[in-house]
Structure 1
Amino acid sequence: MPNQFECSECGFMVRSENDDELIEFVQQHADDAHQMQVAPDDVRAGWESVEMGASN
């Protein structure tokens, strides 16, 4: 099941079935958009599991 993370600062959202990929995207976004460093555990604490339908 994929996980989804939404940035509380700007609404950026990313969804992936690969946890490592999701963490990488969130960390890159935090650095590029907000000049912040985010630990992998913080990303894990902030994501939610979602279902992806056939149209996603």
Structure 2
Amino acid sequence: MTTEPPLGVIPKWLHDERRTEDIAAAIERRISARSEIPLEWFEEYNNLIKHQVKK
């Protein structure tokens, strides 16, 4: 009987893609609520996009 190996981690490219979508959605929610958006969100979003474009 063979057993499957334990589940590993999500690939970085997929994590980054999902994180980009999550940040964009969070920014949109803040805009709709007319709330301030942390600058760190923009910085992280821009860094993620920059690395996704380089692929």
The alignment's TM-score, normalised by the length of structure 1, stands at: 0.35
TM-score (norm. length: structure 2): 0.35
- Larger Rg belongs to: 2
